[in-house]
A and B are shown apart, each in its own frame.
Chain A
Amino acid sequence: MSTAPSYSEGTITPSGEVVRYSYKERMCHWTAGTTYVFCLATGLAFYSPYLYWLAAVGGGPMSARLLHPWVGLFFYISVVWMHVMWKSQMAEAPEDKQWKEKIMAYVEDRDNEVPPQGRFNAGQKLFYWVMYYGALVLLVTGILMWFPELWPRLHWVMSVVIPLHSGFALVTIGAFIIHIYMGILMVTGGFRGIAVGTVTQEWAQHHHRLWYDKIKKDQK
């Protein structure tokens, strides 16, 4: 028995499916995903008294306070890794403008009115950039909040830094709610792509026509 092959993105497997995300991309995504969810739960615990029980995710309030910054640092590192992989693919493309004009058709599932999209549509790109810049602000403010005793002179600065950290966390949470909803419930078949790597050809053609067409063309 040999190990199952790990296909690169854009190959069509012997069983006729399209590889949407390579093993490396999936690992990167889930490193970011799990570290983000940890920070989300422990962060919400410190955000609201009504969510303080979420600190249990971090092993209780005291250890959650110790772990949140460390896990947050790993989240940021995974975002940098993702950026190296996807930066060029997340750049604006001509079809993005048409997608944005047709956003209501996309939201209301009138997909036949939505123009063909590349590997990532404009909505996915927007989510990417919100998380990318969000993570940057959370990193900078988070490091200041990690050891406030080291910069006692920044006393009033901290009163600005903490709301900034909360505010940007909330922005990423808004984006994250939509991301989870779309990935699991709305765009059925997509979750398989990020979990085990493959989607059906029908799915690829439906959601990312330009990407799929290129794969087919390269195959010939």
Chain B
Amino acid sequence: MPNENLTIKAISAHPGAIGSGAAPEASYEVCKLIDTTTCIGCKACEIACLEWNGYEFRETTFDNTYQTMPDTEWNYWNLIRFSEHDNGDGTLSWLMRKDQCMHCADPGCLEACPADGAIVQYENGIVDFNEEHCIGCEYCVTGCPFNIPRLNPTTKKVFKCSLCSDRVGAGLEPACVKSCPTGCLHFGSKEDMKFEAEKRAKQLQHNGFEHAGVYDPKGVGGTHVIYVLHDERDPEKYSGLPANPTVPIMVRFWKHPLKWLGNIGLIFGVAGVLSHYIRFGPKDPSIRQEAKR
């Protein structure tokens, strides 16, 4: 069920207008700020995410890093990715990046989804999956530039971080933010978080991280989860954070020009054969016989 306390902005594969649109609370764009420079990799956010969303913790995989397990899963939406980056000058950086859904302003998952109501975007910027309507086609996986949605192989439904839309709808901050002990996670309006992020980036620049900056990629219209990075020139070194994420061009082509060409083709095809019938009618085998006589 979409959260009734939040105003809906967009619904996947939905013909016609969008619902009642009436929600009790005034909507402003929300944002989670992740300051990678103050993350200590404690995984409190991973546990808080599991607890709030009702998934059990499981055994971790030790692979000689500070990462709990190799990848996110359908019931493990939030993972601190660890990478030991060789700076090329004999020093190493230990980079911790909290990886989860970025809640794009222009969500590729919603663009690609063919199931009415399976993905909704709220006015406040949260992109939420509604598994009740999910058909398990995984088009969202193809549409997502951050490789976030995960299939539950048993139920054939796709899951991802909801930015705790249920908590946010009730005026609370997301569970991960609540649990963070270092103040690396912040939650508030997009405007405030951008301000805080820029301020922190400036401070870092003063303190010797001259390339520190804010990650709020334009290619997907900005995101409702933003990062402060020590080095914004190379986001890829943070365990593959895409430097320039966009909705795949072929997904755009498929959902717009191809669809319209197809629709026009279908309508003209049916109209064409019917007007042929009206103009020329059926083939009458007696015509040739008469011509011979």
Contact = CB atoms under 8 A, between A and B. Distances in A.
A112 B283 CA distance: 11
Contacts of A45: 114
Contacts of B266: 170, 173, 177
Contacts, number: 135
Contacts of A47: 114, 259, 262
Interface stretch (B45-53, B58-66, B122-130, B245-253): B245-253
B199 to A, nearest CB: 36
A66 B155 CA distance: 12
A62 B250 contact: no
A155 B142 contact: yes
Nearest to A206: B285
Interface string B274-290: 10110011111111110
Interface string B127-161: 00000010111110111000100010100100000
Contacts of B135: 46, 61-62, 64-65
B147 A202 contact: no
Contacts of A181: 273-274, 276-277
A173 B268 CA distance: 12
Contact of A112 (B114, B143, B274, B288): B288
B14 A162 contact: no
Interface residues of A, number: 47
Interface string A54-97: 00000001101110000000000000000000000000000000
Nearest to B145: A155
A202 B136 contact: no
B138 A170 contact: no
Contact of B280 (A107, A155, A206): A107
Contact of A187 (B137, B143, B269, B282): B282
B138 A159 contact: no
Nearest to A171: B265
A160 B280 contact: no
Given A49-B14, A62-B135, A148 B141 contact: yes
B280 A108 contact: yes
Contacts of A189: 285
A52 B280 CA distance: 34
Interface in B179-201: none
Interface string A165-191: 011001001100110010001111100
A46 B139 CA distance: 10
Contacts of A188: 282-284
A111 B288 contact: yes
Contacts of B42: none
A187 B277 contact: no
B116, B135, B251, B261 — most chain A CB neighbours (10 Å): B135
Contacts of A177: 266, 269-270, 273
A158 B151 CA distance: 16
A2 interface: no
Interface in A131-172: 145, 148-149, 152, 155-156, 158-160, 162-163, 166-167, 170
Contact of A162 (B15, B139, B289): B139
Contacts of B276: 107, 181, 186
A10 to B, nearest CB: 19
A207 interface: yes
Contacts of B116: 49, 52, 61
Contact of B277 (A61, A148, A162, A186): A186
8 contacts: A61-B133, A65-B156, A111-B287, A112-B288, A148-B138, A170-B266, A177-B270, A185-B282
Interface of B: 13-15, 112, 114-116, 133, 135-139, 141-143, 147, 151, 153, 156, 248-251, 253-254, 258-259, 261-263, 265-266, 269-270, 273-274, 276-277, 280-289, 291
Given A186-B277, A188-B284, A206-B285, 7 more contacts: A46-B114, A65-B156, A162-B251, A170-B261, A170-B266, A181-B276, A207-B285
